[in-house]
Amino acid sequence: MKKKSDPRHKKRAELMQDLFSWQFKTDRKPTIKIRPVVSNLSDIDELISKSAPDRPISEINRIDLAILRLAVFELIIEKGVPPKVVIDEAVELGKEYGSDSSAAFINGALGKLIQLEKIKTD
């Protein structure tokens, strides 16, 4: 079990929080840390829509959406972290910051994305 004091976990939590707060004022310039995610937002949101077709982007809890956006960015665009780690971190962030159903929703959406994009998790 990872510790919440892990610097990588803390960094992801900070990025997620920046993404979350940016969602409320999208007319402001994103911070340097989240700019790569925001600049790829249309592609990321399209992938989220495909992996969670029962929930339009506008209906996804904003915390869950920020977590998913960060995870999809890491999985599809950045590709520097093993998929299992990205999914585990996203689920942990969902448990820590989201609602009771966040972790399951995030896990399901990312699992579907892995299948759709044929990402190897081995």
Sorted by where each begins, the domain ranges of the chain are: 7-22+31-117
Q: Is residue 50 within 8 Å of 109, Cβ to Cβ?
A: no
C-alpha angle 114-117-122 in degrees, rounded to nearest 5: 50
What CATH code would you report for 7-22+31-117? 1.10.940.10
How far apart are the C-alpha atoms of 88 and 106, rounded to whole Å? 10
From CA 118, how far away is CA 99, in angstroms rounded?
29
pLDDT tens, residue order, the chain (122 aa) = 456 678 999 999 999 999 999 999 888 899 999 999 999 999 999 999 999 999 999 999 999 999 999 999 999 999 889 999 999 999 999 999 999 999 999 999 999 999 998 888 76
